[in-house]
Structures are given as structure tokens and as C-alpha cells.
Amino acid sequence: MSLTEEPGTAASPVSSSMFSWVSKDARRKKEPELFQTVSEGLRQLYAQKLLPLEEHYRFHEFHSPALEDADFDNKPMVLLVGQYSTGKTTFIRHLIEQDFPGMRIGPEPTTDSFIAVMHGPTEGVVPGNALVVDPRRPFRKLNAFGNAFLNRFMCAQLPNPVLDSISIIDTPGILSGEKQRISRGYDFAAVLEWFAERVDRIILLFDAHKLDISDEFSEVIKALKNHEDKIRVVLNKADQIETQQLMRVYGALMWSLGKIINTPEVVRVYIGSFWSHPLLIPDNRKLFEAEEQDLFKDIQSLPRNAALRKLNDLIKRARLAKVHAYIISSLKKEMPNVFGKESKKKELVNNLGEIYQKIEREHQISPGDFPNLRKMQELLQTQDFSKFQALKPKLLDTVDDMLANDIARLMVMVRQEESLMPAQVVKGGAFDGTMNGPFGHGYGEGAGEGIDDVEWVVGKDKPTYDEIFYTLSPVNGKITGANAKKEMVKSKLPNTVLGKIWKLADVDRDGLLDDEEFALANHLIKVKLEGHELPADLPPHLVPPSKRRHE
């Protein structure tokens, strides 16, 4: 069957389902794709192909509530997690450069609520119970955590340019001891896990003075398992300790995290002081500036990568739903029809690990795709196994088809959307503070040194370079490339770098260097040896004075 089939030609049920991505009009070459946007495609794929499998095997009772339209349309979200007084609320205040409703800052545990800081036309607070009935917000499924949680959940709305592009979730400080588990009245780790599935970035904040990771914080981090790709770590208040102690603190943090986050890669840690107050110990100012810029770039990239993140999360969810279907159908298969159901149920729950291994072998599934064994055993205790469904291959085949074909087509659409849309980055607040002007990162350093000077910046060292120049046998005031090379290789820089320096320094492109060009080449070597990057093109302030008339 051809996609350019005549309108009158009848299509078989098989062929029409095979090309369900292509609408009828596509065959008339009027509309090549069924989905207009990636988010619409994800929404339809989920509703038509994955949701039936989830509902059939009661996925939502075990793992995660069903996704809603708002989950596919909402802005990127950043979740802040940390022990009390690590500077989570202050970090938000620093980013948006504005107080937000419900904000409280202090050394004691002040933020006792989950606060979704979002864009709104006017400043105000929306309480949790109202939030979970609003279909435009991605929070409706939080209703399952009950009133104890909803009374501690709210949305702070305010007009702010940063919040045009992202939303930020502030969380209560993680407490130590029994207070964490008992006093809250809701499952704190489960709420964080719910958010972790839906956010684009998780920032764990640590205080350089209170590095101890309590058992409760450790449990919370473990609840974020399978979302390691979203996690970034911030070592805050680093300006309050000396360089030597900072090195020790950083090493201790990496060691502690390595024991909790079980990944072979080292987690990215940003060191700094994320507020607008003067640095107490300014020795590491340059380090803090570079780290802040790196973190800001990471956050700024979230709107651009939002569609890809949602696609990635849907794939993760589909893989888990498939494994869950195999587990439930295996348990159903082992259950007796009439007698001994309770004793068989206990036996199956206790031997769940063996069932995992059997499924792994039969269906060639990676061990990493299986849900947590102990948690699954706890959830199964309260379930009626007789109501479980047997294996229905058609539902699984539909999801396999979605993963193999539909997702691949959506990946192409993601790239197309990215190329058509203007560069999406977070703007406003602290993100604008270092964009331009003399306080931009690296301004006036390296190749930028002397950018605002009237005199040519290379001039101050030119007498030293001239002495070397005249030992290299200049002819008609210029030295050859071979003679210049003899001197330039003394820097021990690689030929690829020296080749780039030659290209930048040979301003008139005659294959020779005069005294000014030779001085410029030496200046660029010095820039590189000091650890700075070379510019792609020679900045106007570095062009030798005698050559500026040619520019």
C-alpha cells in the first residue's frame, strides 16, 4: 500500500493501523503528519497505547498516577531538595531577584510547605486543595496524598520574567530523627518521588558547614533513584570557609554522595554562594563565578530540552509498565483457582525475587527496569491476587510498537521543533545580571584583557618581544614562519594550538610576521598558558595599531 493512495482506494484494517500516524489527508499530500506538536503526540500516544496497559494491570496503584494533559503541556520545573537552612528559599530568591508570596527565610526550619513558585498575572497564593482541582496545573494527582499534605502545599504566583520559562518547587527542609517520618502526617519521600518523575531538574542543596547527610536525607535521595540524570548538587555557603577547608568539605561530600547515589559516574557538584550578599572570604571568587555560570547555563537550557525530557520520561514509564504487566500476570498464573489462595499469596510475595529472575530470563529484560523489590512486596501484601489479569500480548505489542516506531518519529519531530523555534533560554532575574557589560564572566580576562584600554594592550610587553624578534633574522622587518616556529614551540603548546595562534597573529595574511604581529603571537601564547581559551576571531582591541586601517 502506498501513502499516496487514491482517495477511493479502500484500506484494510491492518494497513490503516500500520499507518495510524498518517492521517487520511496525508494520503492526499495535504497534511503529512497526524501530530502537530511533540506534546500533542506524546499525549495521544500515552492515551491510546500506554494507558490501556497501565489500567489493565493496575499500574497506578503500585507506581505512579495516570498522566494528564497538564503533565504534557506544563513548563519545565526545578525541584529544590535539602536539609533545613541550606539556602533553598534564598536560592529561589537569588534566581528571580524578587520576594515571592509565602516566602520565609531563617536559620531554623522555616519552610514547612511545598511551594510551587509559578508565573501568574498578579501576586498571590493558591492553597493546595484548590490547586489539585485545577485542570490547567499538573498537580491534580497529588490529591492522593490527603489533607495532611494538601494543607502543606501551595502555589505562589507572581509576574516574573524567569517564571515565564520555568517553575520552581521549594520543599520543606529535611528533618532528622522521628520528626521526619511521624510529625509530617504524610509520606514525604513518596511526595518527592512524585515530583521527581515530573520535574526537569532536581537540585540537592548542601551547606558547607552542615555536611552530615542524615538517614532521612539519605532515604530521600534513594527515593530519587532512576532520576539520577536530573540530579545536580549545589554546595552552598562555600564563601564562609577557607580554601583548604573547602577542599576537604568537597572531598567529604563526594565520598558521602558516592555511597548513596549508586552510579559509576561522579555527580556534578556546583560550589558557590547563591545569594546577593558580599562574599565573606573572597579568595575563591573566580571559582564561584565560573560555577554559578555553569549552573545558570544548565538551568537556562531546560526550556530547550523540555520536549526531549518528556519523551525520555514516557519511555521510562513504558518500560516500567511492561515489566509491571509481566509481574502481575506471572502472579495471576501461579494462583490456585479455589483453595489455598492466602498461603499461596504469601509464598509468591516472599519468592518475588525469583519471579523477577524468571521474567528477566524469559523476556530478556534488564535488571535495572524492575521496580524496587522490597517496596513491591509491601504493596502486594494488601492486594487481592484473584483480581489480577492474565497476560494480554496485544496490549504489550501495542506498547512495543510505540517504543519501536512512534517514539522514533517523535524524536525527529523534537529536532524539527527545536530548529524552527527561536533559541529558548530562561531570561530575567539573576540570569541577566552577568549577560553583558564588565561583570560578564571572564570580561577583561585572557584574550579580553585591555578591551576598554585606549593603548594597545600588547604594547606594554612589546619591548621584551622585540628583543627576541631581532634575534630571529628579520628581512625587510619581517620573519619567516620557520624562524617564528623555532621560538613559538618553546612554549610547549601543541601544534594545533600554535597553528591557531599563527592564524590569529598573521593579520595581513602574508605568511610572515612583523614586530607587532610577533608580539601579538607571544601575547596569545601567554593567554593560553594562563589557562584561558583563544578567541575564534581576533578581537578588535588586539589588532596591531598599524593594521587597524586595513580592518
Same domain? 382 vs 483: no
SS (H, E, C) 499-529: HHHHHHHCCCCCCCEEHHHHHHHHHHHHHHH
Domain presence at residue 12: no
Mean pLDDT of 203-213: 84
Question: Does 500 share its domain with 403?
Answer: no
Residues 455 and 539 both lie in one domain? yes
Average pLDDT, the chain: 82
Quote the pLDDT of residue 369.
85
Number of domains in the chain: 3
Question: pLDDT band at 465, cuts 50/70/90?
Answer: very high
Q: Mean of the pLDDT values across residues 502-519?
A: 92
| Dihedral-angle region of residue 72 (phi above 0 means left; psi in -120 to 50 means alpha; beta otherwise) | alpha
Q: Using CA atoms, how far apart are residues 513 and 301, in angstroms rounded to an integer? A: 43
Residues 81, 220 contacting (CB under 8 angstroms): yes
For the record, the C-alpha cell of 466 comes out as 622585540
The mean pLDDT value for 32-39 works out to 66
Query: Averaged over 126-143, what is the pLDDT?
Result: 89
Whether residue 410 is found in the same domain as residue 468:
no
Are the C-beta atoms of residues 165 and 299 closer than 8 Å to each other?
no
Per-residue pLDDT of 280-289, as tens digits, reads 888 888 888 8
Mean pLDDT of 241-263: 85
Q: Is residue 24 pLDDT above 50, yes or no?
A: no
Is residue 525 pLDDT above 90, yes or no? yes
Going by C-alpha positions, the residue among 434, 361, 293 that lies closest to residue 370 is 361
| Between residues 67 and 29, the one the model is more confident about | 67
User: CATH number for the domain including 475?
Assistant: 1.10.238.10
Q: Is residue 17 part of a domain?
A: no
On whether residue 182 sits in a domain, the answer given is: yes
Give this prediction's pTM.
0.72
Q: List, for residues 303-343, the tens digit of each pLDDT value.
A: 888 888 888 889 989 999 999 999 999 888 888 777 777 88
Cell of 58: 493496575
Look at residue 61 and tell me if it is in a domain. yes
Neighbouring CB atoms inside 10 A of 34's CB total 17
pLDDT at 473 over 50: yes
Are 209 and 131 members of one domain?
A: yes
- pLDDT higher than threshold 80 for residue 434: no
Q: Are residues 239 and 136 in the same domain?
A: yes
Q: Tell me: do 255 and 366 sit in the same domain.
A: no
Assign residue 101 the CATH number of its domain.
3.40.50.300
Last residue in a domain, options 282, 316, 333: 282
- Whether residue 241 lies inside any domain: the answer is yes
Greater model confidence, 438 or 350: 350
Q: Indicate if 411 and 497 belong to the same structural domain.
A: no
Band (pLDDT 50/70/90 cuts) for residue 549 is low
Q: Are 146 and 269 part of one and the same domain?
A: yes
Answer yes or no: is pLDDT of 79 > 90: yes
Say whether both 95 and 119 belong to one domain. yes
Residue with the three cell numbers 580592518: 551
* One domain for residues 199 and 88: yes
E-assigned strand segments in 57-123: 77-82, 114-119
Structural domain including 491 reads 449-547
